[in-house]
Amino acid sequence: MRREPKRRAKPASGKSKITPAAKPAYGRVAAKPAYGRVALVGIGLIGSSMARAIGRGRLAGHVACWSRTAETRAAARRLQICDSVHDRLVDAVKGADLVVLCAPLSANAGIAKTIGPALKSGATLSDVGSVKEAVVRDVAPHLPEGVHFVPGHPVAGTEHSGPEAGFAELFEGRWCILTPPKGTNRAAVERLAKFWRAMGSKIELMDPAHHDRVLAITSHLPHLLAYTIVATVTDLEDHLTREARDKGYVIDRGEVVKFSAGGFRDFTRIAASDPVMWRDVFLNNREAVLEMLGRFSEDLTALQRAIRWGEGEKLEALFRRTREIRRGIIEAGQAGTFKATEEKKK
Ligand code: NAP
């Protein structure tokens, strides 16, 4: 069984505002559901993983969901991961004690505008978006008085999408960052934190702008690099193939796939992530990503120079430092899994 870390969850400025759980509650059935009715707006990878984790721990009296297309709603019905699947958005959120927006960031403003008038007084509205300032900007203006707004971001995911891709264990041992605006009802924040802990997450409180800068470097920039590398390599392959053909060689097209185990394939996994979700992340966290990209370019130029001038010691020192960082990530239980061998095809 994993332990809750000793460190207390801290907001970006000032003292811890929520109490750490004495023991992790996930994997056990809750004595009392955290919420009566939970509505999941969007039932893709994250929404369906929540539905499964809530069902497993019996963390809600009723789980309602809505999805934009009839196809995804049919999949949710088939999978039986929610108590009710609604064709109309307002029907899903009506009477809910907790509503969680699990759709792409660009859909939030429209959804909030539609559901705002239907939200119950005293309900909590949260989300799972990967950028937080934009969520506050898009959602807060549509919420009526008496609704507690506690944005959230589970730092957990895969490159897959849709309700079939979800699984109950997705959040286990992963951080969930809550970014409540100043003055948010403390009990509402505590209750949501407890709910996420019961799904296996560890909780951190942050200011939205701080969240966006931290995630720009730890998540958004690595995705941008993966998208770029995969595109550059495939363009290069086209170029090399044409060049070889012009010289009269017969070359085997498809070397990218053939030799991809040499490091490239880890990038291809990340670069397979959902195009709409990542388009929204970059458009909604523009400034922080551009800032981190600037810093990264400077470091890359320094590395380029070290290679050009044959500065082996500099390269080795950097690579030793980064290897230590990887070891720290493994020790912190945040490394995930990596298999060097292939799964056998069924
Ligand atoms: P997903 O698997 O693609 O599911 C998206 C859900 O949103 C589906 O129910 C989809 O409905 C609905 N949707 C799509 N476009 C919509 C629109 N224009 N209006 C209303 N609903 C729409 O996505 P996901 O990976 O769960 O991501 C959902 C949210 O979680 C995103 O905000 C993302 O930033 C955040 N997040 C993702 C990850 C990750 O690794 N994937 C990790 C942490 C946080 P239909 O299928 O019916 O179109």
Q: Does the Cβ of 127 fall within 6 Å of ligand 1?
A: no
Q: Does the Cβ of 69 fall within 6 Å of ligand 1?
A: yes
Q: pLDDT value at position 260?
A: 80
Whether residue 55 is predicted with pLDDT greater than 70 in this model: the reply is yes
End-to-end CA distance of the chain: 33
Range with lowest mean pLDDT among 6-10, 60-64, 256-260, 296-300 = 6-10
Task: Judge if 35-206 and 211-331 fold alike in CATH terms.
Answer: no
Q: Where are the domains of the chain?
A: 35-206, 211-331
Taking CA atoms only, the protein residue closest to ligand 1 atom 40 is: 157
Q: Does the Cβ of 104 fall within 6 Å of ligand 1?
A: yes
Q: pLDDT value at position 341?
A: 77
Percentage of the chain lying above the pLDDT 90 cut: 76
Residue of 171, 110, 104, 112 lying closest to 131 (CA atoms): 104
Q: Given this structure, which CATH class describes domain 35-206? A: alpha beta
Q: Does the Cβ of 105 fall within 6 Å of ligand 1?
A: yes
Using CA atoms, how far residue 187 sits from 61, 84, 146, 184, 201, in Å, is 20, 28, 13, 9, 19
Per-residue pLDDT tens digits for 123-144? 999 999 999 999 999 999 999 9
Q: Does the Cβ of 43 fall within 6 Å of ligand 1?
A: yes
Give me the chain's average pLDDT, please. 90
- Distance between Cα 99 and ligand 1 center (Å): 15
DSSP designation for 341? S
Q: What is the pTM of this model?
A: 0.89
Whether residue 109 is predicted with pLDDT greater than 60 in this model: the reply is yes
Q: Which residues of 249-284 are buried (b: 16+ CB within 10 A; e: fewer)?
A: eeeeeeebeeeeeeebeebbebbebbeebbebbbeb
Q: pLDDT value at position 13?
A: 41
pLDDT bin (cut points 50, 70, 90) of residue 27 is: low
- Distance between Cα 48 and ligand 1 center (Å): 10
Range with lowest mean pLDDT among 149-158, 166-175, 180-189, 246-255 = 246-255
- Distance between Cα 17 and ligand 1 center (Å): 30
CA-to-CA distance for 37 and 93, rounded, in angstroms?
9
Whether residue 8 is predicted with pLDDT greater than 50 in this model: the reply is no
- Distance between Cα 107 and ligand 1 center (Å): 9
Q: Does the Cβ of 129 fall within 6 Å of ligand 1?
A: yes
Q: pLDDT value at position 147?
A: 98
Q: What is the CATH number of domain 211-331?
A: 1.10.3660.10
CA-to-CA distance for 188 and 149, rounded, in angstroms?
9
Q: Does the Cβ of 154 fall within 6 Å of ligand 1?
A: yes
Q: pLDDT value at position 245?
A: 81
Taking CA atoms only, the protein residue closest to ligand 1 atom 42 is: 157
Q: pLDDT value at position 10?
A: 40
Whether residue 79 is predicted with pLDDT greater than 50 in this model: the reply is yes
- Specify burial of residue 327 (Cβ count, 10 A radius: 0-12, 13-18, 19+): exposed
List the alpha helices (DSSP H) in the chain.
45-57, 70-79, 89-93, 108-115, 133-139, 186-198, 208-215, 221-246, 255-258, 264-270, 275-284, 286-308, 312-331
Q: pLDDT value at position 346?
A: 62
* Of 236 and 256, the one with more pLDDT: 236
Q: Does the Cβ of 193 fall within 6 Å of ligand 1?
A: no
Q: Does the Cβ of 215 fall within 6 Å of ligand 1?
A: no
Q: Are residues 143 and 135 in contact, defined by beta-carbon separation less than 8 angstroms?
A: no
Tokens of residue 270, six digits: 């990340």
